[in-house]
Structure formats: structure tokens, C-alpha cells
Amino acid sequence: MTEYFTIGDVHGKASMLDELLQHWDGCSQLVFLGDLIDRGEDSRAVLERVKNLVDQKGAVCLSGNHEYMFLTWLDNPEKSYDHYRRNGGDTTINSLLGRPLNAPVDGVADAERVKTEAANLVDFIRQMPFLLETEQYIFVHAGLDLELKDWRETSDYQKVWIRAPFHEGSNQTGKTIVFGHTPTFYLLHEAPGTKQLWMTEDGKIGMDGGAVYGGVLHGVLFGHNGIIEQYAIKNDGLVAED
């Protein structure tokens, strides 16, 4: 039975990711739930590390809504830059172009620069899948449309953006759905920094610890009978839970 070491929303927090990866055994299947970029200080380093893990170690990195917005901006910068900027995109643009994070951004001209100067990373983002389904688990960034007769018909847009209808819907997939996107502290009605995962009786597990909001970066090892180990990296070090 394959084990899955799954990592929540990184959002440019490269040092937290590096610390978390120290707890990966190098054998279990690595799964990133998306939102590698935006808001945090080192999106380029995160993309490079994860691309290398995909290329060299067979990791799977799903697209999140921030990768979706990034590509939407690149493909139509005049129309889409303002929305991307409001969602923390300038930090990624400046990180990719090697500029100070607070440097002014030209949404149109910089789109052309990013396509040229970070072409390999843009290609990497373009090939990210939206879902990983295994015998026991469904890994997805935001969730599924559980009102559909066949959940597999969920649109890619919904897979990266859906919130309440999924959280409140009934999971009748027969599998555990592991997702990020909505910070666990929000779902748990707690302050940022909680180490808890959001878990429901019908088999949904939310693991976006809100790392970029002063929360934690979750890493969870899933096995045949559910969670084997879980880690929560805080900015000041490791908190391990069994």
C-alpha cells in the first residue's frame, strides 16, 4: 500500500517547506495540494524546489487557485492583473524576476518578462494536474462539487475555488477527500496557529494551516488506515503530533 506524504498550501514560505521536507522519508509518495505561490516571500524558490521533486522524485503537485490566477494573468494580463494583484500576485512576479518584493509591477510588461525569464517554471505550472485519485483518497486543492451525480465531473475551476458547498456537502465518494485552500483555523473557528486538521465524520480532511497568515504548514503521512503521522511547522520551529 502506497503511503502519501501530503503538504498543504506553502504560499512562498520556502524555509518552512524546507523544514517540513526534513520529515519526509524519501520513499512515500509526495503530494502537494497547490498554492505554492503568492503572498509569501520566496515563491521562486518554492517553485524550483517542488519542480525538482516532481522531476527527480516523482512528486505530484496539484494546481491551486493561485496557480490558476497566475496563468490567467499571464494569458490575459490587461484584463486579469488587477485581480491577481489583489490576491498577492506582486510578490510572485517580483520573486520570479529577482526584484525586491515591494518593487513596482507593470502587469502587462512583466507578464512578457515572466514568460521569458521563468519559462521553465511557467511550463511547470501549466502541466499541474487538478486532482489525484487513489484507491482510498482523493487529493484536491479546494474540494469537489458533491451535488453532482458524478463528482468526477467537477470543473477544474471548482476544484481550485470551491468552499462552503463542499465543506457542508455530503461526501458520498467512498473515499477520503484531502484538501487545502481554506485555512483550518477558519474552518475550526480558532485563531491562526492551531495545529489541528479539520476533519469530518464523512471523510473530509482540510490541511491548509494558513502558513502565510501566521499559521502552520501541515505535512501529513497517509496510509492504508488513515493518518500515520502529522507535522505542523510554525515559523519558530517544529510541532509534531501523532
Number of folded domains in the chain? 1
As to burial, measured by CB atoms within 10 angstroms (0-12 exposed, 13-18 middle, 19+ buried), residue 176 is buried
For residue 136, what are the CA distances in angstroms to 130, 144, 177, 225?
Answer: 17, 16, 9, 9
Residue 133 covered by a domain: yes
Tens-place pLDDT, residues 10-48: 999 999 999 999 999 999 999 999 999 999 999 999 999
Residue 242 covered by a domain: no
Query: What's 181's DSSP letter?
Result: E
Residue 83 covered by a domain: no
Domain extent, residue 222, equals 4-63+129-234
Residue 150 covered by a domain: yes
pLDDT interval class at 236 (50, 70, 90): low
Residue 19 covered by a domain: yes
Question: 196 is written with which cell numbers?
Answer: 489541528
- How far apart are the C-alpha atoms of 44 and 179, rounded to whole Å? 23
Does this model's pTM top 0.75? My answer is yes
CATH number of the domain enclosing 144:
3.60.21.10
Q: Above 50 in pLDDT, residue 200?
A: yes
Q: How far from each other are the two terminal CA atoms of the chain, in whole angstroms?
A: 20
- How far apart are the C-alpha atoms of 144 and 225, rounded to whole Å? 22
Tens-place pLDDT, residues 39-80: 999 999 999 999 999 999 999 999 999 999 999 999 999 999
- How far apart are the C-alpha atoms of 221 and 192, rounded to whole Å? 22
Residue 75 covered by a domain: no
Residue 205 covered by a domain: yes
Residue 220 covered by a domain: yes
Pairing of strands 237-241, 226-234: antiparallel
pLDDT at position 1:
75
